Structure 1
Amino acid sequence: MPDTTDILSLESLQVHFPIQGGLFDRALGRPGGAVRAVDGIDLTIGRGEIVALVGESGSGKTTVGRVITKLAQPTGGKLLFEGRDMTAERGSSALRPYRHRVQMIFQDAYQALNPRHTVFDIVAEPLRSLRLVENGKQLAQRVSEALASAGLNPPGDFFARFPHELSGGQRQRVVIAGALAVRPELIVADEPVSMLDVSIRAQILQVLVDLRDKYNMALLFITHDLPLAWLIADRIAVLYLGKLVEIGSADEITFNPRHPYTVALRNATPQIGGNVGRAELPALQGEVPSAARVPKGCRFHPRCPLAFDRCKQEEPPAIEVGPRHMSACWLAK
């Protein structure tokens, strides 16, 4: 039976980026503002669990992933890994054991891969930097295992290739292999298939699921696509303007959403067939959100068709609306 204990916990996590005021603001001593990219979220990920973090662009998804992988420093809250507080840990030597266990798959394989390095050197780089191998034989063996796990077979055929000699799917597999080479216990996958053809996406998703099943590896899958999250995730957390507005099992969030934003994400997915014309595709109405000007009360109310006076004054707490299903909406019961 797989170990389902929590490997990672975020407690009231906040990430605010300061905004410089204009010339007159500085002259008059007015304080600058801040972009509240992540504004107090609580999230846990269990061993062997796939959690999808879903939201539109600007909701704070990637910022959460960068904090977890220690590529960004939080403004407040805690990051706990196996119960150990990693929030204030900094420096390459202090973070070396952590980076061995937590890796990230970046969205853009074109940017993530050095065009001057071969596939072998790209996958071998984290093994060398973290000092996880003792000799060249071990290095070649670990690189081969990582490439094979990512679906690049036979691995030796790819050692001497450069990124421009690979297809888009193969490049993404090399990025995955680079993360797998160190044998991590948690991977943060930031939109790993958004730049791939639809025909390739299923293959990459299957690779990630197979890796979870084989190694009991935890995965935070970041995406803006709710149906895609349902395909791969055990649980889905919906992020809006830096806040978690709903979280629950993949089936519950997809087929029984209780927050208007989740409903809007589900309804905005185009359906093949039926009588819906292009002009009839539903879209979110209202003011486009800004993390620098968070509205008072429920931050979704400027775009919510069900909003009422209370939504404009008070921020709704997350309440339990089903087994392990939480929603932050005054109408959720």
Structure 2
Amino acid sequence: MPDTADILRLESLQVHFPAQGGVFDRILGRPAVAVRAVDGIDLNIRRGEIVALVGESGSGKTTVGRVITKLAQPTAGRLLFEGHDVTSVQSLSALRPYRHRVQMIFQDAYQALNPRHTVFDIVAEPLRSLRLAKGKQVTERVSEALASAGLNPPSDFFARFPHELSGGQRQRVVIAGALAVKPELIVADEPVSMLDVSIRAQILQVLVDLREKRNMALLFITHDLPLAWLIADRIAVLYLGRLVEIGSADDITFNPRHPYTVALRNATPQIGSNADRGELPALQGEVPSAASVPKGCRFHTRCPLAFDRCKSEEPPALEVGPEHTSVCWLAK
């Protein structure tokens, strides 16, 4: 079970990207527009806890992960690691100890692995760049990381190149690269989305086992709600840069209180008839542009239960159960 102490906390986090206007925008003097990829979220992760960040493509999930791993700088808000404000940490010397403790597993193993490097060099790279080991220590740490990621015996993979590996083995090498520095928090960005079902189960088991053995915290980014329920202690649902619901994995999956969470659940294929499930109608239309979010509840243009109040007022975060919060007027 996770420790009650927070290892990471996001406070009012915002990430806005300036959008280039066209020629007519400049001629007509139209104001510059910013894409609000992340628009004020509060989230905490406890030591040893697995938190799943769920939402459709374009909701801001990866941007949150990139801010946590210091690959993107927030526009506003704070990033606290073990109570220390690390929001403005940017220099290489200051980032070394942070990246020793916080690592990221990237979604696309094909792009994350250098095709000209062997598996040994790929996994050893963070150890060398962060100056955590040298000589025989590097070999020992690489072997340990590969074994922890399920690549046994490790020495059989040292001299292989990425093109000589299967998809599941590539993903395990990416995981091993993150594990080599023995982090305390890992951000896993869709780590199994490109794998078939049988390999997915193996990779997920590796992540769960690591949590148990090392008391390591994990932010698991996915668009798959059932997958999040399978692995996470808590689930946070993200829509257009805002958290719309957060709670235990069971509450979010089986007792969702926000229409968007219900829609995510109902979008999952079910075995057998859905006629008696009493599900809400499917969401209509595309996700609104993050550069032109309407005033009021940003979800109202797609919500089948929206009413006039949704167009003008942003709903508050309402406590609907123990550690279960939903941002919707109908969640009372």
- Shared topology, TM-score over 0.5? yes
Residue in 2 that maps onto 1:52: 52
TM-score (norm 1): 0.96
CA distance in 1, matches of 2:179, 2:286: 41
SS at 1:131 equivalent: coil
1:207 corresponding residue in structure 2:
206
- Give the secondary structure class of the aligned counterpart of 1:52: strand
Alignment partners' CA distance in 2, 1:284 and 1:274: 20
| Aligned residue number for residue 270 of structure 1 | 269
Give the Cα separation in 2 of the matches to 1:10 and 1:186.
14
| Residue-by-residue CA offset, 1:74-133 (whole Å, 9 max, x unaligned) | 000000000111111102111000000000000000000000000000000000000001
The number of aligned residues is: 329
Question: Which range is displaced more, 281-290 or 60-69?
Answer: 281-290
Matches within 5 A, 1:8-157: 8-133=8-133, 135-157=134-156
In 2, the alpha carbon distance for the partners of 1:210 and 1:123 equals 20
The question of whether the paired residues in 2 share the 8 Å contact of 1:317 and 1:329 is answered with yes
The alpha carbon displacement at 1:164 in A equals 0.6
Q: Given residue 15 of structure 2, which amino acid in structure 1 is its aligned partner? A: V
Instruction: State the Cα deviation string for residues 270-320 of structure 1 (Å, max 9, x = none).
Output: 0123367xxx99642145321111011111101100000000110001110
Question: Conserved in 2, the CA contact under 8 Å of 1:268 and 1:282?
Answer: no
Q: Tell me if structure 2 keeps the 8 A contact 1:286–1:304.
A: no
Aligned-residue offset at 1:2: 5.7
Q: Percent identity?
A: 88
Letter of the aligned partner of 1:234 in structure 2? D
TM-score by length of 2: 0.96
Distance 1:90 1:26 in 2: 33
Q: Which runs of 5+ in 2 are unaligned?
A: none
| C-alpha contact 2:187 2:220 (8 A) present in aligned 1 | yes
Q: Return the alpha-carbon distance in structure 2 between the equivalents of residues 224 and 282 of structure 1.
A: 19
Secondary structure of the structure 2 residue equivalent to 1:122: helix
- In 2, the alpha carbon distance for the partners of 1:287 and 1:84 equals 39
Give the CA deviation at 1:19.
0.9
Could you tell me how far apart the structure 1 residues matched to 2:54 and 2:288 are? 16
Is 1:191–2:190 an aligned residue pair?
Answer: yes
Q: Does 1:162 align with 2:172?
A: no
Quickly say closer, same or farther: Cα 1:2–1:240, change in 2 above 3 A: closer
**3-state secondary structure, aligned to 1:41:** strand
SS in 2 for 1:301: coil
The 1-side partners of 2:256 and 2:89 are apart by 37
Measured in 2, the distance between the counterparts of 1:300 and 1:62 equals: 20
Tell me, in whole angstroms, the C-alpha distance in 1 between the residues paired with 2:307 and 2:274: 32
The 10-residue stretch of structure 1 (86-95 or 281-290) with the greater mean CA deviation from structure 2: 281-290
CA contact (8 A) 2:257 2:326 kept: yes
> 89-98 vs 256-265, which deviates more?
89-98
Structure 1 alignment gaps of length 5 or more: none
Once the two structures are superposed, what CA deviation does each residue of 1:23-42 show, in whole Å capped at 9, x if it has no partner?
23324443210100000000
Which one-letter code corresponds to 1:265 in the other structure?
Answer: L
Match of residue 228 from structure 2: 229
What secondary structure is seen at the aligned counterpart in 2 of 1:331?
Answer: helix
Deviations 1:215-264 (A, max 9, x none): 00000000000000000000000000000000000000000000000000
- Given residue 147 of structure 1, which amino acid in structure 2 is its aligned partner? L
How far is 1:186 from its partner?
A: 0.2
Counterpart secondary structure, 2:268: coil
- CA distance change for structure 1 residues 287 and 111 in 2, over 3 Å: closer, same or farther? closer
The alignment's C-alpha RMSD in Å is: 1.5
Q: Deviations over 1:120-179 (max 9, x none)?
A: 00000000000001x321000000000000000000000000001111000000000000
The one-letter amino acid paired with 2:47 is R
| Counterpart amino acid of residue 71 in structure 1 | L
